[in-house]
Structure 1
Amino acid sequence: MKVLMIAPACDGEDVGEAWVAAQWATLIAERHELTLLTTYKRGHTPMSRQLPGARVIEWQEPAGVGRFERFNSLLQPGYLPFFIRARRWIRRHRAEERFDVAHQPVPVAMRYPSPATGSGIPLIIGPVGGSLDSPPAFAEEEGATPWWQRLRRLDSWRIEHDRLLRATYESAALVLGVAEYVPEFVSGLRVRRFEIMSETAVHDIPAPVDRAGRSGPVRLLYVGRIVRTKGLRDVIRALAELRDVEVRLDVVGDGNDRAACERLAAEVGVADRVAFHGKLPRAAVDDYYREADVFVFPSYREPGGNVALEAMSFGLPVIVCRRGGPGANVTDACAVRLEATSPAQLAADCATALRRLVGDPELRLRMGSAGREHVASTHLWSQRAARMTAYYREVAAAGA
């Protein structure tokens, strides 16, 4: 099939959405005739050199766009010039060549219209997510959230009033969403077809880790950016309720809430049981997965949560929140899913879940084994690509 992929950020040497888009591009290029519309960062290897087997149409990212990483990843100021260039390219070439399907896998957030809208090419959007609001009770502790992150609140208004954005979703042949909340978010639109698919996956299952017979403190692990919404404060508060339990928490990652979490650990008297390791290379992160006994990641505003899939692939039971991607990507056999209504409730429920898992080594092993099996059967990139190929064929057969 001839596939037109639209990915404003696509870079297998980067992280986040750019890395995710590169996985899609690489896998689809192995199966179909791919034309990729994208940009590349200054100083990075262009995708045309990373993916020589595909036709890559790329533009250099505008100067200054990537200076502030988190600001750029949220607001994507480079999207408008990319949109204009990509739309012009599609209009200029649609008369001389035919594409069976167009697919725009990124941005994941549901606030960006597609340049393929109205092109006559059957369009697949997603998997999309984001745009989750925080539960109101968490708002006070998010007071230090940068102003650009608070602009997420405009997403609901835009999906209702932005004509081009509405047209993108209403004209798409298929919208893929990361979890059940996505169709609720676009419920005011006439979406033609909706399916659920996580926006990320793992490439393979690591060798099994033998955790039977371990002694000493039960090793808890958190991996991810340290921002309020990802729930590390709630884990630390949970530890304060487990003073009679022998545990240790390793925190891998960094972010603007780290200092607050370090202060909180000292205030509640668990600083001696929490180790902050900062951002680490991939190989070092994998070592922490192997050394851990329980993975705890109660992020309450998470569209994907690939770290939970990684943890399960290493045979770890996981503790996640029910809302968003992590809760959608697991089963009760391999995960404890928590509600998130208030910081006090989340910390208390996290403590209950931890006490149960810490006190039952056999349960940890059973859940860890179930997690490995679940990832192997459901969350491999090869399975994502096969499923996407099936969608391509269905959409192309149905027409624009």
Structure 2
Amino acid sequence: MSETPIRPRVLAIAEAANPEWVSVPLVGWSLAQALRGVADVHLVTQVRNRDAILRAGLTEGVDFTAIDSETFARPMWRLAERLRMGDGKGWTMVQAINALSYPWFEHLVWRQFGTQIRAGAYDIVHRITPLSPTITSSLARKCAAAGVPFVLGPLNGGVPWPEGFEAERRAEKEWLSYLRGAYKALPGRGATLDRTSAIMAGSHHTAGEIPARHQSKVVYLPENGIDPARFGRVAAPVDDVLRACFVGRLVPYKGCDMLIEAADELLRAGRMTLDVIGDGPMMQPLQAQAQGLTGVTFHGWMEHGAVQDVMAKCHVLAFPSIREFGGGVVLEAMALGVTPLVVDYAGPGELVIPGTGVKVPCGSRDQIVSAFRAELVRMANDPTSLRTSGQAARARIQSHFTWDQKARQVAQVYGWTLGPRQHDAPAFF
């Protein structure tokens, strides 16, 4: 048997990979780039990302290939935008439409790279995005037939809506989410998982949705990471007034209205300030809710790189979102040494461990507001005490969540995949 290559040759498939965007495209770009430190990587992405990647300094044809699937992808995206019934809403509908259009992209990838894969030009084919576990992959079967390991993930998504938030669910136009579980019966899902050599799951919920017969090749690995160049400052608030911030889209499930309600008395007493970073359909209602409260500043949308300038002046990220898959903003706050205060549900609940932040139970709206109010009062009584948890949070990021660290973690998954598999899959958390 041949030895595992020290630097495996990896064909990284990331349909969404863009250094100038946020969310999934930034995850795809950041992980693919970080992997260049541990592997010889050729990135394959969609043509819409081409210009941004060229501006980032990569050479087309050498470092990356842009696949033009717009003939099918563009009309399907327009359909998704019409069906989602509102900017930033109906995410499940968007994913369902993407599940219909994405197979054409993989068809074009195989058309261009299939001969090289069969000839052994790559040791690993790794599909980084889409992150959704609902989208199958024809490449898994084709790579298996060629004798080349196929790695999938990190996958994340499908976190159920918590009970008591049906109004928020309706406001988000998440009608299709009631049927989301049907994806498990879709043709191709079983074949994809059967022929995948390793499955990286970005959340415990997603890992739990993988059938039992595949659990031996599941690795828990949260998908978000931190680029120290983007979030490299160290928070150092100097006064005794509790400084809190909220960062995110101003939509119902993010819970900014719950935060303002919880902080009302502290804000009126001048014992707390609140910086709200983000924009969305709830901007005007939130501004009306905060009318008469001193110390609340609505910054609106900000460039991603500028967000840390505001966050680094704060003691705490107060983030009562009740349905986060990944919770990247929680990691960004921790990277700065800002203590996160979150709801113990899904992504944020998994990222915040004892000593690095505070989690409140995911109950009813009134219960979350009450729990946030109690924690904010406790913090306001001694905001300087948050320095210890902020330092622990920052250390946690440096040890586990920088993109370089995540690339080393993925490299261990590659090594396990290519090796004799005489031990269990790697575990990092």
Same-fold call, TM cutoff 0.5: yes
- Distance, in Å, in 2 between the alignment partners of 1:228 and 1:189 is 38
Cα deviation code 1:301-351 (max 9, x no counterpart):
111111111111111111112221222122110111122121111111111
Distance apart, 1:259 and its partner CA: 3.3
Distance apart, 1:83 and its partner CA: 2.9
Moved more, 343-352 or 115-124: 115-124
Moved more, 36-45 or 311-320: 36-45
Residue 12 (structure 1) aligns with: 19
Cα deviation code 1:242-289 (max 9, x no counterpart):
4556112111011233334334445xx64x443221101234311111
Structure 2 alignment gaps of length 5 or more: 1-7, 82-86, 422-429
**Amino acid paired to 1:142:** R
Residue 424 (structure 2) aligns with: none
**Amino acid paired to 1:10:** A
Change (3 A) 1:42 1:179: closer
Instruction: Answer yes or no: is 1:143 the counterpart of 2:167.
Output: no
Cα deviation code 1:137-170 (max 9, x no counterpart):
0112332222xx43233331112x1131232233
Q: Secondary structure at the match of 2:52?
A: coil
Residue 138 (structure 2) aligns with: 115
Change (3 A) 1:339 1:195: same
Partner residue of 1:86 out of 106, 109, 124: 109
Q: How many residues are matched?
A: 391
**Amino acid paired to 2:258:** D
- Distance, in Å, in 2 between the alignment partners of 1:3 and 1:48 is 23
Instruction: Answer yes or no: is 1:337 the counterpart of 2:339.
Output: no
Higher helix share: 2
Instruction: Answer yes or no: is 1:124 the counterpart of 2:151.
Output: yes
Contact conserved, 2:244 with 2:272, CA < 8 A, in 1?
yes
Residue 103 (structure 1) aligns with: 126
Contact conserved, 1:166 with 1:189, CA < 8 A, in 2?
no
Cα deviation code 1:345-381 (max 9, x no counterpart):
1111111111111112242111111111111111111
- Distance, in Å, in 1 between the alignment partners of 2:45 and 2:138 is 12
Contact conserved, 2:49 with 2:66, CA < 8 A, in 1?
no
Change (3 A) 1:322 1:396: same
Distance apart, 1:300 and its partner CA: 1.7
**Amino acid paired to 1:221:** C
Instruction: Answer yes or no: is 1:56 the counterpart of 2:80.
Output: no
Q: Secondary structure at the match of 2:219?
A: strand
Distance apart, 1:240 and its partner CA: 3.1
Structure 1 alignment gaps of length 5 or more: none
Compute the RMSD of aligned alpha carbons: 2.6
Residue 172 (structure 1) aligns with: 196
Partner residue of 2:256 out of 208, 232, 237: 232
- Distance, in Å, in 1 between the alignment partners of 2:277 and 2:323 is 19
- Distance, in Å, in 1 between the alignment partners of 2:370 and 2:298 is 22
Contact conserved, 2:279 with 2:301, CA < 8 A, in 1?
yes
Contact conserved, 1:128 with 1:176, CA < 8 A, in 2?
yes
Moved more, 202-211 or 292-301: 202-211
Instruction: Answer yes or no: is 1:328 the counterpart of 2:353.
Output: no
1:201-350 residue pairs with structure 2 within 5 A? 201-204=225-228, 206-211=232-237, 213-215=238-240, 217-240=241-264, 242=266, 244=269, 246-266=271-291, 270=293, 272-350=294-372
What TM-score results when the alignment is normalised by the length of structure 2?
A: 0.83
Instruction: Answer yes or no: is 1:154 the counterpart of 2:179.
Output: yes
Contact conserved, 2:19 with 2:56, CA < 8 A, in 1?
no
Change (3 A) 1:190 1:390: closer
Distance apart, 1:108 and its partner CA: 1.6
- Distance, in Å, in 2 between the alignment partners of 1:47 and 1:152 is 37
Over 6 Å off, 4+ runs: none
**Amino acid paired to 2:132:** A
- Distance, in Å, in 2 between the alignment partners of 1:8 and 1:107 is 7
Q: Percent identity?
A: 24
Partner residue of 1:359 out of 357, 381, 403: 381
**Amino acid paired to 1:106:** T
